Amino acid sequence: MEKKQVNTAKLKIKTGDTVKVIAGNSKGKTGKVLSVNKEKNRVIVEGQNMITKHVKPSAAKPQGGIEKKEAGIHVSNVMLVDPKTGEATRVGRKLNENGKLVRYSKKTGEVING
């Protein structure tokens, strides 16, 4: 039996980056990326795309109730914020002088650390 191979594209957004939401209910807002799901091409942004989740009573939460938490946003609906200018920018990848692939801002040409 053959294993299915999942082709996951290299994402240009990493955990810890500051991003701006460019589509959806949270359009125009910025936040920090908490996690990245490469298989589903989704990111969870701090304080954005909030959903309500009904939680059953358990040992950890004996009261149960309704909880607000962040839901995933598709990678195409967020844009990286350039740390130097504070504006949303597209991201490119290029080789630096050490031969390592680095991300850079298409707007300013500056290398993005992280």
Q: Domain ranges for the chain, please list them.
A: 18-83
Q: What are phi and psi of 77, to 5 degrees?
A: -100, 5
Q: Tell me how crowded residue 79 is: count the other CB atoms within 10 A of its CB.
A: 20
* pLDDT band with cut points at 50, 70 and 90 for residue 113: confident
pTM over the 0.75 mark = yes
Residue 7 has pLDDT above 80, yes or no: no
Side by side, which strands form the sheet with 91-95?
91-95, 101-105, 111-112
Q: Are 106 and 93 in contact (CB under 8 A)?
A: no
pLDDT at 6: 66
* pLDDT band with cut points at 50, 70 and 90 for residue 83: confident
Which CATH number is 18-83 given? 2.30.30.30
Q: Across the strands, what pairs with 43?
A: 36, 73
Specify the DSSP class assigned to residue 75: G
For the stretch 14-69, pLDDT in tens is: 999 999 999 988 899 999 999 999 999 999 999 999 999 999 999 988 998 999 99
